[in-house]
A = this chain, B = another copy of it.
Amino acid sequence: MNLNGDPLMKLSKKNLDTKLDHVYDVIIVGGGAGGLSAAIYLQRYRLSCLVIEKGRGRSFWMQDLRNYVGVDPHMPGRDLLKQGQNHALGVGADYLMGFVEDVKDEGETFKVKVKVGKQDSIYPEFRSKYVVAASGIIDNLPKLENMQNVYDYAGYNLHVCMICDGLDMENLKAGLFVGSEGAINTAFVMNWFTPYISVFTQGLFETSDVMKQKLADHGYPLYEQPLKQFHGHDHEMNGVELVDGTQVPLETGLIAMGSHYFSDYLAGLDLDRDGQDLITDSMCRTSHPRIFALGDLKKGLNQISIAVADGTLAATQIWRDIRRASEPRVWVENLEK
C-alpha cells in the first residue's frame, strides 16, 4: 500500500484501461534512477505521474554501483532500481512495463502511445500535460557471432564507463575496443588509470597514419583485425582472440563504441540537440516548454548521481509551472467570518 493506504498501482494489460481517461500531470518515459527520482518528487509535490519502463536499461546492467553516496558500493544497479521503484509506488506513482512508441503534442496535452507485451501486444494511449524523457542510452557492444560471449564479460571486468570503473583498471593490461578513429582518443584519457593499453578497431574502419604514429609514440599496440572471441571464465575476461588467430592477453577492458539513444518517440517533436544529446536549460527543460530530459539523454556526465539530481530539478520546475498557473488555495472558513 502507498502512504494514503491505497494499493500500489502497478499497471498491466489487465488494469491499464482504468487510466486511459486520466490526464496525468506527467508521463515519465523511463524508470531508471532519473525517472524514478522525478516520479518520487512529483508525487510528493501532489502531482500525478505514470512511469513507463521498457526494462533492462544501462544501470540495470551495472554489477557494482561504486560511487553513489548512500548505498553500498557493491550494490548492483538492479537493486537500486527495485528500491526506487518501490519508493515511487509507495508515494502513489503509477508504473507500467512497456515501450513508448510515439509522443504527440496535442496542445494542452501529450498523447503517449505505448506497446505493452512482447507477444499479443496491445497499444494503449495515455495522456499527460508534461513529458519527462528519461529513457537513457545503451552502450554499443562489439558484434560477435556469439553475443553471449560479450555478455559474459560486459559489465564485469569489461567496462563501458571510465568514470565509474577507471580505478578498477588501475595499472592493468587493458583492451580498448573502439568503433571509430575518434574513439581511439579515449586511450589518452584512460592512460590516467593504466598505461598498458592495447587498442582494437575490430576492422570497422581504417586508422589514419597520424593516429598510428600517436599510438606508437605512447607504446600502445594497435590491432586492426576483427575479433573472434573474448577468453576468460566466471565473468573474468583474460584476453581476446582475433580472426587471424592472434591472441592478446588482457586483464581488463573498456568498450568505447558510442551509444544507442532511446529517444525515437521524440522524433516528431523537433527538439534542439547537440549531436544526439538533447539540449536542456538548468532545470532540464528541453526546447519544448512541456518536455524535460534527464540523465544520459542530455548533455553532461552519464552518472546515476546526475540523473537523480536531474529528476529533482525537472520535477521541481514542473511543479512551479503548474502551481503558478493554479488558483491560490484560501482558508475558506476564515474568509466567511
Contacts and interface: CB of A to CB of B under 8 A. Distances in A.
Size category, A interface: 35 or more
A306 to B, nearest CB: 5
Contacts of A83: 69-72
Contact of A69 (B87, B166, B217, B301): B87
Contacts of A163: 41, 316
A192 B323 contact: yes
**What is the count of identical protomers in the complex?**
2
Contacts of A334: 219-221
| A36, A68, A221 interface centre (most CB from chain B within 10 Å) | A68
Interface string A301-337: 1010110111111001001000100101111111100
B219 A331 contact: yes
Contacts of A217: 330
A73 interface: yes
Interface in A165-197: 166-167, 170, 188-189, 191-197
A194 B46 CA distance: 11
A131 to B, nearest CB: 20
Given A323-B189, A328-B218, A334-B220, A73 B90 contact: yes
7 contacts: A33-B69, A41-B163, A44-B166, A69-B311, A219-B332, A305-B305, A305-B312
Interface of A: 33, 36-37, 40-41, 44-46, 66-73, 75, 80, 83-84, 87, 90-91, 163, 166-167, 170, 188-189, 191-197, 217-221, 301, 303, 305-306, 308-313, 316, 319, 323, 326, 328-335
